[in-house]
A and B are shown apart, each in its own frame.
Chain A
Amino acid sequence: QLQLQESGPGLVKPSETLSLTCTVSGVPITSRNYYLGWIRQPPGKGLEWVGSIYYSGSAYYNPSLASRATVLEDTSENQVSLQLRSVTAADTAVYYCARQYLGYYSGSGSPLLYYMDVWGKGTTVTVSS
Chain B
Amino acid sequence: QSVLTQPPSVSAAPGQKVTISCSAGNSNIGTDFVSWYQHVPGSAPKLLIYDNNKRPSGIPDRFSGSKSGAAATLGITGLQTGDEADYYCATWNSRLSEGWVFGGGTKLTVL
**A residues adjacent to B (C-beta < 8 A):** 37, 39, 46-49, 51-52, 60-63, 96, 98, 100-101, 103, 106, 110-117, 119-122
Contact = CB atoms under 8 A, between A and B. Distances in A.
Contacts of B33: 103, 112, 114-115
A46 to B, nearest CB: 4
A117 B56 contact: yes
24 contacts: A37-B100, A46-B105, A47-B90, A47-B102, A51-B99, A52-B99, A62-B98, A63-B97, A98-B45, A103-B33, A110-B97, A111-B94, A114-B33, A114-B92, A115-B35, A115-B50, A115-B51, A116-B35, A116-B47, A116-B100, A119-B44, A119-B46, A120-B44, A122-B44
A93 to B, nearest CB: 13
Interface of B: 2, 33, 35, 37, 39, 43-47, 50-51, 56, 86, 88, 90, 92, 94, 97-105
Given A46-B2, A52-B99, A122-B44, A116 B94 contact: no
B99 A47 contact: no
B28 to A, nearest CB: 14
Given A47-B39, A47-B102, A119-B45, A113 B92 contact: yes
A96 B50 contact: no
Nearest to B31: A112
A47 B45 contact: yes
Contacts of B39: 47
A83 B90 CA distance: 24
